[in-house]
Structure 1
């Protein structure tokens, strides 16, 4: 039986904060972000002591460093092509499938309601037309399960998604709803509950989440409480923490990162892979990683949403 949104949120907020978590979960995947250290760090994510089972990389072709590993690849149509006849995404995924790559799911449109800091800035009508042309055929022809557009956690996300499904006119058969969140756990629980109440007939993937710019203690508590909660929620089938990079190139704060500035697993990184804590402390820097989500706008928008 699915947990009702109200009860799920109340139980999550009331739950005690875990101090450490080293259990594994088949729901966990890798939100892969390419950085200057990726070639060195790639082996961490698919090693024998990593329990991750899937990954996505904001693209329609696999990442060479972890291609062909135990991690199942999930392609993403990040934005909309400039031409309304472009079939690049469909053709790339079709080639993967017909070449023997197991593609069970695809994701679509990274934060289309955002036009900065990683948002793909796609209007709902264009997204619907692109979906019908390039994404829907993957389901009808190959049985691929489709993720709805991954909007921001701000109120604009709900509005954009409603406009998208209206523009689709029944021709976009999404199977699950991706969710993004960059704030505290209470806000996360409230937002997940809102999404579940709005789309009760679809399962959910939390494809980006972290406590942005939190202290080390707060970041660890947020990770442990949220991961434990996701593992208990039957309608959350997949989740991918946003922190698979070194702390000195993190634009959500160094304490959210899964790796230290030297490429060692932080406690959060070790827990996420199903290992015991390392005690390695992350240090920050001013660098920015390319194509991150618009977390700053999300945090501000989410706070306004909670106050309304």
Structure 2
């Protein structure tokens, strides 16, 4: 009997060992921070917002190394992961956490077969600048989008007047951007690894880089370092079929001085076809004068990648009538200027942060009355 019990005990022990041999082992996650959404941080009492006191001293989408992001990119045989340490805070407007990375890399369908030929950073005379081509075959209205928005609501901003989309990052908000021309952005070195992974031939046909490099609370990169960085990391995209938009500086005097020093440091060796501008003020004529001055001085076509009717100088904010006057003055003028390629109002966002919420163009995925005007017009 004792021998029989011993035999049973040995049998049970063997089965237990055999069973544990076949238990599935855990699979390592793609990233420690998740791979479908960028984490939001609390900055200065706002989620993904940093303080901005005036247009001349602060800027927009700020990145700091901290929060882990992952972008999974499809290869020919397997899926590899890229993890970049970054967190999103926003110097001026708002709550613009960068768009969520796609689960796989997406080859966007070009709207034209030929990308515009890029120009060098040496400023040509205005008469020698080629007429910009709206490569989306549509209008100049650009959509500045972020991960707070429901991707399905993107369809609500599509019209004959909308032509471009960007997300302050290399990522698209969805695999189907409904015919808009995606502009992949390299905000700064914090996004370098993801930029290298995603921004390859065929992913998009427009790229831009360096968000408010003149602003201490934003990218804060000196012109000489920016010129060297541009030559090494941005210039090569022209050989991949990309049309490059230049650094997006603030509308302060410091922004213009930064650009002068950047061009001098480039020595004609930084390739980009358009100047990218930001503008925040409540006077529509101020924006018009600023854009005119910039074009007269530098002579390159212009894209305005952020603007709103917003007072960052400490005075009263505009009321709804003043905001309507701002947009109904500025947008028809921008539409009529051949040298303005595209403009991106700051307002296609669910959270406007510290920008006057009356500028909001979309709520709950639905266009506001102001948003309907921006998207559909009429502009006369």
Normalised by the length of structure 2, the TM-score is 0.57
- Cross-structure match for 2:338: 234
Determine the C-alpha separation between the residues in 1 that align with 2:286 and 2:188: 27
SS of match in other structure, 2:348: coil
Determine the C-alpha separation between the residues in 1 that align with 2:179 and 2:276: 23
Which of 240, 244, 249 is equivalent to 2:348? 244
Q: 1:114 offset after TM fit, Å?
A: 1.0
Distance 1:257 1:137, change over 3 A: same
Q: Are residues 1:214 and 2:318 paired?
A: yes
Determine the C-alpha separation between the residues in 2 that align with 1:88 and 1:265: 32
Measured against aligned partners, the alpha-carbon deviations of 1:6-52 in whole angstroms (never above 9, x if no partner) come to xxxxxxxxxxxxxxxxxxx61111011332xx12xx33333485442
Q: Are residues 1:89 and 2:195 paired?
A: yes
Determine the C-alpha separation between the residues in 2 that align with 1:49 and 1:193: 28
Q: Contact between 1:46 and 1:70, CA under 8 Å: does it hold in 2?
A: no
Determine the C-alpha separation between the residues in 2 that align with 1:90 and 1:233: 34
Which of 199, 212, 221 is equivalent to 1:111? 212
> What RMSD, in angstroms, separates the aligned Cα atoms of the two structures?
2.5
Question: Which structure has the greater CA radius of gyration?
Answer: 2
Q: Which has the higher contact order (CA 8 A, sep 6+)?
A: 1
Measured against aligned partners, the alpha-carbon deviations of 1:104-163 in whole angstroms (never above 9, x if no partner) come to 2111111111122xx222221221122111110111x22311111000000000011111
- Cross-structure match for 1:62: 172
Superposition pairs for residues 63-212 of structure 1, below 5 Å? Answer: 63-64=173-174, 67-81=176-190, 88-94=194-200, 97=201, 100-101=202-203, 103-116=204-217, 119-139=218-238, 141-183=239-281, 184-200=283-299, 202-212=300-310
Determine the C-alpha separation between the residues in 2 that align with 1:159 and 1:67: 39
Determine the C-alpha separation between the residues in 2 that align with 1:254 and 1:177: 28
Q: Contact between 1:59 and 1:76, CA under 8 Å: does it hold in 2?
A: yes
Distance 1:240 1:48, change over 3 A: closer
Q: 1:216 offset after TM fit, Å?
A: 0.7
SS of match in other structure, 1:173: coil
Distance 1:49 1:166, change over 3 A: closer
Which of 150, 154, 171 is equivalent to 1:45? 154
- Cross-structure match for 1:34: 147
Q: 1:172 offset after TM fit, Å?
A: 0.2
Q: Contact between 2:146 and 2:173, CA under 8 Å: does it hold in 1?
A: no
Normalised by the length of structure 1, the TM-score is 0.70
Q: 1:89 offset after TM fit, Å?
A: 2.3
SS of match in other structure, 2:188: coil
Determine the C-alpha separation between the residues in 2 that align with 1:49 and 1:81: 31
Distance 1:134 1:91, change over 3 A: farther
Q: Contact between 2:276 and 2:305, CA under 8 Å: does it hold in 1?
A: yes
As a proportion of its length, which structure holds more helix? 1
Distance 1:88 1:43, change over 3 A: closer
In structure 1, the gaps of 5 or more residues are 5-24, 277-308
Q: Contact between 2:164 and 2:342, CA under 8 Å: does it hold in 1?
A: no
Q: Contact between 1:208 and 1:241, CA under 8 Å: does it hold in 2?
A: yes
Q: 1:68 offset after TM fit, Å?
A: 4.4
Q: Contact between 2:158 and 2:178, CA under 8 Å: does it hold in 1?
A: no
Q: 1:53 offset after TM fit, Å?
A: 2.1
